[in-house]
């Protein structure tokens, strides 16, 4: 499918160009997987000058083992819309680049903003995720160019690198202390040579969620936990554009939440039928297309992030003190140590904080003296469980990872679309679209149980032993020690196999995995004024640009020990449950806290 046709997709609420063939044979491929860890892999990285001033090239190979691109139609009766909906969906690798020169700090490599200036092999397509001003590429999405399924193995992907100039060219970025101590001025520094840089190409697997209308809330009259409604009743609310939405109120044109009934009492929505508010047009509603990470941020991904941060940013991204000795668990609750058997992030080498030091610099006929900040030594981290979702992420670590990777936090409206898709909701449904879950919740279930094999290996897997296992209505997910479940997160995407369907994979409508039962999803809530100011701008590889917005919890997660009555609650796993939508927004490392990120889909013009 060409980029021109793709632009039609973006502009037409999921309606594709008439030349595309719908109802192909690949639509169910989004619910399958390789049966083992299957994260995008980068190899054979090479960076060099291009021969054009200010431009370098970065070449690499990209592969992962299960991929799809598919198109299908949905009848109006299924969506509640006025006509048949034509959809297309695929998985992609979000690829971004970091670099440094010897002795320098890690920086984000900016790329050419035009897709045509990059090169991908036959069978692949590329889209550029641009900076917020649209002038540079922060990263690229690479995915199948045509319908199909199976492995991807693309050799010789080449990106055009906009080389740093001026002060940014010095050692990949020079600290204040180094700048003052230099004998030569920054302008005297030689041009940046990409061949001398250490370059890391990183990839996160994403799923494309196309533009279309969808529903918020599921109409439940059972367990009420702040579910979205159309006005003060129980009916779900249909999102049909990215325009501003009125909140609270007492008519169906307002997005209400049962007046926050059932939400965490200390963290309830700030709007209700007597106290309306407005969700601005800039706040991402989920109607527009976006990419969502297929699985949650793993411990390996988070360690990669940590090891590229300065000391000060590391200090707010882990619960542990960075000065603690090698071997200290870095990601855990310091007040309740070692409750999880899956604490896999450790301090490999302790760090030292920034300090103020005196400095004198001779400048011809005078001497400048004073004090400057000498950067501390960043800690070094390692992981022993690279394929497991990272939890205990502090609240500043969530936007920190998103900004570093060029992505952004998801909103809770996007969470519901990512789970439910465009179809009419089912009361009390889970992300896999039914109201059933394997086994019976509780520590002493009747029937069967999960059995875990190949612990902590790439092939870590679960199987069901006994009765009442996953079937056409009972989906796979772990909750409060249900049926012999491990009681803590397992490897990402563990239920997706070559034979799985949506229910047995525990997958969302679009093929996103682990949206319930792994770690809770972190999402920007609508029930707080500061959060409603979120405009959906993206990170650009450095510090988080989102000020004081918070991220609450949606989706529920796998428990450990003390959380059997809360974190693993069956009701929290339901798509519409908003019991904790504003909870733990400022937590400094709670066992609940993992994350996954999104990015608004590019629109070629």
Domain ranges of the chain: 3-208, 213-298+387-605, 299-386
Task: Give the pLDDT score at 336.
Answer: 63
Task: Give the pLDDT score at 309.
Answer: 96
Task: Give the pLDDT score at 16.
Answer: 37
Give the whole-angstrom CA distance, residue 69 versus residue 218: 29
How would DSSP label each residue in 473-537?
Answer: SEE----TTGGG--SS--STTTT--TT--HHHHT--TTS---SSSSSPEEEE-SSSHHHHT----
Task: Give the pLDDT score at 589.
Answer: 53
Q: What is the dihedral of CA 103, 105, 106, 110, to 10 degrees?
A: -110
Q: Which helix (H) or strand (E) holds 299?
A: helix 299-306
Give the whole-angstrom CA distance, residue 78 versus residue 84: 9
Closest residue by Cα to residue 33 from 468, 396, 513: 513
Backbone φ and ψ of 81, nearest 5°: -85, -170
Task: Give the pLDDT score at 348.
Answer: 98
Cβ count within 10 A of residue 275:
12
The percent helix, strand, coil of the chain (3-state, each to 5) is 15, 30, 55
Task: Give the pLDDT score at 366.
Answer: 76
Integer CA distances (angstroms), 302 to 84, 94, 146, 252, 587, in order: 42, 16, 32, 42, 17
| 339-364 residues labelled b (16+ CB within 10 A) or e (exposed) | ebebbbbbbbebbeebeeeeeeeeee
Q: Two tokens at 181?
A: 């101590």
Q: Which residues of the chain have pLDDT under 50?
A: 1-20, 171-189, 441-445, 481-484, 560-568
Task: Give the pLDDT score at 84.
Answer: 96
Phi-psi region of 35 (alpha: psi -120 to 50; beta: other; left: phi over 0): left
pLDDT in tens, 20-66: 455 578 999 999 999 999 999 999 999 999 999 999 999 999 999 99
Task: Give the pLDDT score at 182.
Answer: 44
The sign of the dihedral angle between the CA atoms of 201, 205, 209, 215 is negative
Task: Give the pLDDT score at 603.
Answer: 85
């Amino acid at each position: 499918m060409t980029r021109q046709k793709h632009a039609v997709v973006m502009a037409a609420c999921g309606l594709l160009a008439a030349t595309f063939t719908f109802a192909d044979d690949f639509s169910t491929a989004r619910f399958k997987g390789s049966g083992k860890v299957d994260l995008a892999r980068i190899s054979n990285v090479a960076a060099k000058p291009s021969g054009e001033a200010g431009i370098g090239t970065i070449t690499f190979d990209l592969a992962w083992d299960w991929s799809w691109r598919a198109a299908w139609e949905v009848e109006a009766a299924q969506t509640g819309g006025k006509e048949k909906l034509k959809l297309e969906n695929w998985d992609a690798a979000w690829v971004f680049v970091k670099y440094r020169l010897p002795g320098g700090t890690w920086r984000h490599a900016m790329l050419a903003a035009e897709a045509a200036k990059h090169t991908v092999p036959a069978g692949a397509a590329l889209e550029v995720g641009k900076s917020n001003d649209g002038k540079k590429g922060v990263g690229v999405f690479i995915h199948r160019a045509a319908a199909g399924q199976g492995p991807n193995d693309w050799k010789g992907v080449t990106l055009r690198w906009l080389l740093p100039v001026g002060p940014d060219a010095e050692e990949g970025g020079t600290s204040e202390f180094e700048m003052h101590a230099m004998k030569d001025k920054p302008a005297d520094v030689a041009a940046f040579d990409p061949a001398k840089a250490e370059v890391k190409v990183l990839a996160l697997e994403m799923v494309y969620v196309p533009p279309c209308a969808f529903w918020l809330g599921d109409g439940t009259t059972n367990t009420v936990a702040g579910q979205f409604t159309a006005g003060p009743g129980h009916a779900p609310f249909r999102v049909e554009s990215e325009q501003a939405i009125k909140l609270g109120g007492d008519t169906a044109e307002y997005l209400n939440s049962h007046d926050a009934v059932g939400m965490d009492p200390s963290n309830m929505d700030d709007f209700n039928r007597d106290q309306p508010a407005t969700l601005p047009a800039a706040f991402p509603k989920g109607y527009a297309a976006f990419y969502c990470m297929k699985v949650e941020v793993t411990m390996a991904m988070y360690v990669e992030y940590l090891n590229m941060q300065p000391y000060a940013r590391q200090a707010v991204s882990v619960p542990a003190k960075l000065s603690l000795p090698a071997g200290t668990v870095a990601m855990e609750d310091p007040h309740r140590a070692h409750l999880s058997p899956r604490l896999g992030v450790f301090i490999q080498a302790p760090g030292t904080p920034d300090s103020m030091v005196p400095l004198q610099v001779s400048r011809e006929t005078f001497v400048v003296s004073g004090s400057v900040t000498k950067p501390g030594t960043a800690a070094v981290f390692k992981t022993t469980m690279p394929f497991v979702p990272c939890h205990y992420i502090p609240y500043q670590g969530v936007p920190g990872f998103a900004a570093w990777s060029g992505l952004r936090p998801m909103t809770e409206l996007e969470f519901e679309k990512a789970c439910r898709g465009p179809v009419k909701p089912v009361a009390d449904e889970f992300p896999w679209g039914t109201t059933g879950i394997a086994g019976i919740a509780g520590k002493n279930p009747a029937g069967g149980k999960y059995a875990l094999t190949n612990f902590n290996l790439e092939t870590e897997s679960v199987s069901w032993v006994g009765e009442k296992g996953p079937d056409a209505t009972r989906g796979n997910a772990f909750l409060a020690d249900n049926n012999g479940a491990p009681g803590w997160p397992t490897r990402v995407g563990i239920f997706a196999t070559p034979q799985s369907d949506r229910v047995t994979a525990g997958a969302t409508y679009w093929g996103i995995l682990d949206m319930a039962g792994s770690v809770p999803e972190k999402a920007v809530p609508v029930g707080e004024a500061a959060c409603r100011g979120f405009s959906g701008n993206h990170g650009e590889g450095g510090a988080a640009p989102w000020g004081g917005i918070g991220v609450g919890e949606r989706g529920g997660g796998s428990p450990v020990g003390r959380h059997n009555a809360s974190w693993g609650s069956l009701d929290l796993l339901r798509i519409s449950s908003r019991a904790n939508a504003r909870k733990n927004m400022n937590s400094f490392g709670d066992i609940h806290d993992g994350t996954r990120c999104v990015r608004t889909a590019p629109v070629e013009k």
